[in-house]
Each structure stands twice: as structure tokens, then as C-alpha cells.
Amino acid sequence: MKHRLIPFIAAALMLGATACSVNPVTGERELTIMSAEGEIAAGAENYLPSRQAQGGRYVVDPELELYVSNVMEKLAAVSDRPGLPYEIVVLNNDVPNAWALPGGKMAINRGLLMELEDEAQLASVLGHEIVHAAARHSAQQQTQNLLLQVGMVAAGVAASQSDSDYAGLAMGAVGVGATAWQAQYSQSHELEADRYGIEYMAKAGYDPQAAVELQETFVRLSEGQQSGWLEGFLSSHPPSQKRVARNRELASQYNGGERNKAAYQRAIAQLRKDQKAYEHYQKAQKTASEENYSQALGLVEKAIQEQPRENLFWELKGRLLLEQEKEDEALKAFDRAVAANPEFFRPLVYRGVLNKQKGNAQQARSDLKASQDLLPTQLASYHLGELAQQSGDRQSAIDYYKQAAAGGGELGQAAQAKLSQLGASQ
């Protein structure tokens, strides 16, 4: 094993020593082994699973996403890489967060939109994320991570004489989506995104003072009890009074600009109207976690009465009805969830498993395969394996069980047992 690894290590180290590129934003030479084309491809590949894993698209008010996209386009047009295939979605997620993948694929949660006051503050968030994409920060971070891993492998080769020491190397990266690219940015990346994000705001005609207010808001919220912030935006964009002061100094170099508060408030009017419904939903989730399913069902019914077009509400209702062993009612709730947003994987998984339990093999297979196209999951793989096995398709069953076994845990062990029954090894 060590002899096979050494050429790879040498090549990687040589590549790391020579693969410098110019930062499109700062003009400085930096170590980046990922090409611009590879960067765009990686962002495109991870965009759908990133969105699925974090709530899917917010579909109750599609006009909101169009509004956010228009603001993004204004900022992208004045960026240092206007030719990137920029795209943004509003995610159906309560946690205040925003992120950018390599190549300009971005997202902002409805939870963050609810915390902003005007279009200028939105422009501050989006400008910051556009800089991360334009300056190739994710690509630089991946380069540093790769070289660190190569260095660790090199140290291991020098110290080890056993192939078994490298068993973990064959695992590869199992995570997909934004989390794979949103490793904590360095302080220099964050400050760079602040600085040039403010510049982009000013060029697009927005008041840079909004960037100061945004950081002040983040600092205040980070000091409170809102753990969701710490798990979301603040975990990858840590605020500080130092950043507030620095943004204030940067903003002072520009004249004022547009705030567009009225336009912003019109854009989020549906979110404001539905705020109570989402509060009922959040309380229902908490109550369900305490196994008080009847009370949780009452809360989610209130949420549905407030906003019957929200797929998350119907999905939770279905799951709660399943806990009460009301399968027929649960199936109807999952039908409503899928109808409200047919491009979200989770209700398809639940409906698929339920249909399988009720003996509706054809519908179960259709649902589970549709969910896999959106986001492959261990649960769907396992049940597709059983369906394939029941229909006599041994090879497909083996393929699905292998996917499920790779996920580990109890379901992974069950899949491994199925593989043994079929005379196949993982």
C-alpha cells in the first residue's frame, strides 16, 4: 500500500507547489489547484443535494425568490467575475443562514430573510456571498484541506509498515452539499468578503451602512439565546465587534445609497403573514420530540389552517399520524405534502415506505426512486433493495443494499445481513 501511495503523494505535492492562480477579486497570486471549470462543475453538482438536505425550495411564495434573484443579479453584474453562472434559491428553512458554493450557486434561508429590514441589508448578505464565489474562497479552502490530507498521508507512510493503517483512505467523502464546501472560512476570507462585498454594494447603488447594521445584528443575536443562529449563519460567518468597526470604517469611504425598505417589506409580506404558522410548526416539532404526539398534531393542524400550501406542515402531520398508527390518514397527508412541493425528497421517502408497508409495491418503488433522484438516502436505498429482492431482481437488490450498508448504523447492519443472505459482500 505504501508504495502505491508514494507516487500519488509526490504528484499532489508537486501540483500544490506549482498550481498558483490569480485571485480575480484581489489580483493576488494564491495557491488553488482546482481549475475555474472544475469549480463551476463542483458547484453545479452539489447544488441540488445541498438544497434538498437543507429544506428544499420555499414554494409558498415563488415571487420572493424572483425578488431575491433580481437583487443578486445587480450585485453579480458589478462583481469581479460577472460571467459566473450565478443562481440563488430561497430555502424552506427556519435557521437564519446563507451560503455560496463554488461557481456562484447560492442559497438564502427564509429564516434569515425574516431577520433583515430592507433590500440594502439583503444586498449586504448577497454581496458577501458573491465575493466568496468570485474570489474562489471555497476552491482555496479545498486546496488547503487537500494539501493537509496529503501531508498527513505522507507522515503516515513514513511511519507505518501496515496496509491496515490506511483502511480509512478508501472510504472517501460521503457527505454532499454545502457542508462539504462550507468549511469554516479563514479570517482573511471573511474580511475579504466583507471588504469587497461593501464595494459591490456601493457599485450597485446600495447604502453600505447596511453592512454595518447587519454585523451589529449578528453580534447581538450571537450574544442571546438563539442557538439557531450559532448553528447556521454565524457558525460559518462568525461576527465580532472588530468586524462591526471594520465595516463601519469601510462604509464611511462611500456615499449613501438605496435602502428600498418598502420594496423589501412587500417582498417578504407572505413570510410575515405566515410567521404564526411557522411558530406553530416549530412548537409542534418540539412537542413531537417529547413524544406528545396528540398535542403536536393539534399544533400542526393550526399551522395548516394558517397556511395550507406549506409542504412541511403536511409532512409533519403525516409523520405524527404514523406515530398514532393512522396509516390511511398519514398517506393522505403525505399526498398533500408531495402535491405542495413535488421537488422535495423527504415526503416521497415517507410515502414510499408507507406504500411499501401497505403492499403498494409499484407506487412505493416510484416514490422511493423519485426521492433518490433528488437526494440519495440510506432509508430509501434499503427499502428499494427489499422491493427489488421481492421482485426477483437480485443484482439491483445487491446494489441498493450496498448503498444502504455504506451508511452504517442499525440500518447499515440490516443491509449487510441482507447482502450475506444474497451471498454478496459489501
pLDDT digit string, tens, across residues 73-88? 999 999 989 999 999 9
- Kindly state the helix (H) or strand (E) to which residue 80 belongs, with its residue range: none
Q: Which three cell numbers stand for residue 193?
A: 468578503
Does the CA dihedral 94-332-400-41 come out positive or negative?
A: negative
Mean pLDDT of all residues in 42-60: 93
Domain ranges of the chain: 2-165+175-261, 274-341, 345-426
Count of C-beta atoms within a 10 Å radius of residue 232: 22
Candidate ranges 166-170, 177-181, 246-250, 306-310; pick with highest mean pLDDT: 306-310
Task: For residue 310, give the C-alpha cell.
Answer: 406549506
DSSP character string of 135-192 = TTHHHHHHHHHHHHHHHHHHHHHHH---GGGGGGGGT-----SHHHH-SPPPHHHHHH
- Global pTM reads 0.82
Q: Mean pLDDT throughout 55-69?
A: 97
* pLDDT at residue 25 in the model: 59
Q: Taking 50 as the threshold, does the pLDDT of residue 176 lie above it?
A: no
* 92 alpha-carbon distance from chain centroid: 11
Give tens-digit pLDDT for 117-160.
999 999 999 999 999 888 775 655 554 443 333 322 222 222 22
Q: Coil, helix or strand for 123?
A: helix
Give residue-wise pLDDT tens across range 89-128: 999 999 888 888 888 999 999 999 999 999 999 999 999 9
Could you tell me the CA-to-CA distances from 406 to 68, 349, 374 in Å, in that order? 38, 18, 19
Cα separation, 139 vs 368, in Å, equals 34
* SS3 state at 90: strand
Most confident of the ranges 18-32, 39-53, 296-310, 410-424? 296-310
Cα–Cα dist 28/154, whole Å: 29
Alpha-carbon span 74 to 53, nearest angstrom: 28
Q: Which of 130-134, 296-300, 329-333, 381-385 has the lowest mean pLDDT?
A: 130-134
Residues in the chain: 426
The two domains 274-341 and 345-426 share their CATH topology (first three levels equal): yes
Handedness of CA 136, 123, 62, 228 (dihedral sign): positive
Share of the chain above pLDDT 70, in %: 75
Pairwise CA distance, residues 292 & 97, whole Å: 30
Please check the confidence at residue 309 and state whether its pLDDT lies above 90: yes
Cell of 123: 444586498
CATH topology of domain 274-341: 1.25.40
**106-124: buried (b, 16+ CB within 10 Å) or exposed (e) per residue?**
bbbbbbbbebbebbbbbbb
Average pLDDT of every residue of the chain: 82
Q: Under a CB-based contact definition with an 8 Å cutoff, are residues 329 and 345 in contact?
A: no
Residues 253-279: tens digit of each pLDDT: 999 899 999 999 999 999 999 999 999
pLDDT at 6: 43
- For residue 154, the model assigns a pLDDT of 27
Among candidate residues 344, 270, 358, the one with its CA nearest the CA of residue 307: 270
pLDDT higher than 80, residue 34? no
pLDDT band at 233 (very low <50, low <70, confident <90, very high): low
CA-based nearest residue to 55, from 313, 321, 367 = 313
Residue 240: predicted pLDDT: 73
d(CA 347, CA 314): 9
- How many percent of the chain have pLDDT more than 90? 61
Strand order in the sheet with 105-109: 87-91, 105-109, 98-100
CATH of 345-426, one of 1.20.1740.10, 1.25.40.10, 3.40.109.10, 1.20.140.10: 1.25.40.10
